[in-house]
Amino acid sequence: MRQIFIQQPQDGIGPRTRIEVATEETSRGRRTKEVDLKTQEARRRLIHSILHAEKIHSQEELLKRLEKEGVEVTQATLSRDLKFLTVSRVPDGSGEYVYTVDAPTEPAQDPFIRDDLRREIVDIKFSGNLVVVKTKLGHAPGIAYGIDNLKITDVLGTLGGDDTLLVVLKEGADRAKFLKELTGNP
């Protein structure tokens, strides 16, 4: 069970502090853990500003960048922060992927998207109007983003995991046409 409390400063002046209290049942009874959200919020704001200003290619690179700012965090906590901030990995136009917190203002060039798609897709299987696309590990969100940017008329939407994504096509969509538009190959 989670509860959030707002603590007023004793003198009544200054910012209020949000404290999250998580209570869980264990074999030895009830355990309560307090987390100061001010620290968590500050860390997440820092992550957001770093990703907005710099090209970061991996979590390891981001961990090192945070350490330079004096913030030590575990990889698991960083993963949770990235999920909370809805960070995604997108192609940067040079064949690499970078973390982004904001959608690009300009769509990427068609040839770059298709090149990335061809390079990172491992397998494609169809079932009715569903397409299951297997990718290299960690590339499915970027591939889903790329497919969305192609604006293929028969694609209703995409849903990406780590190495697999689901593409939902319109009923009766032509599979060969979809593959042609996806890869750019005749």
Each residue's pLDDT tens digit, 122-172 = 999 999 999 999 999 988 988 898 898 888 999 999 998 899 999 999 999
First to last CA, the chain: 56
Task: State the average pLDDT for the chain.
Answer: 79
Per-domain boundaries in the chain: 2-85, 110-183
- Separation of alpha carbons 20 and 33, rounded Å: 8
88 and 99 Cβ atoms separated by less than 8 Å? yes
Q: What percent of the chain has pLDDT over 70?
A: 73
User: Does 31 or 153 have the greater pLDDT score?
Assistant: 153
pLDDT tens-place string over residues 56-76:
999 999 999 988 888 888 999
User: Does 32 or 186 have the greater pLDDT score?
Assistant: 186
182 and 167 Cβ atoms separated by less than 8 Å? no
pLDDT of residue 168: 96
CB atoms within 10 A of CB 103: 11
- Separation of alpha carbons 20 and 10, rounded Å: 19
How many helices (H) and strands (E) would you count in the chain? Answer: 6, 9
In which residue are the tokens 């590339």 written? 139
According to CATH, the topology of domain 110-183 is: Gyrase A; domain 2 (3.30.1360)
**Mean per-residue pLDDT for 46-51?**
88
Outline where 20-74 has alpha helix (H): 37-53, 59-68
Look up the pTM and report it. Answer: 0.43
Architecture of domain 2-85: Orthogonal Bundle (1.10)
Q: What percent of the chain has pLDDT over 90?
A: 34
User: Does 112 or 38 have the greater pLDDT score?
Assistant: 112
17 backbone φψ class: left, alpha, beta (φ>0; ψ -120 to 50) = beta
Under the banding of pLDDT at 50, 70 and 90, the label for residue 116 is confident
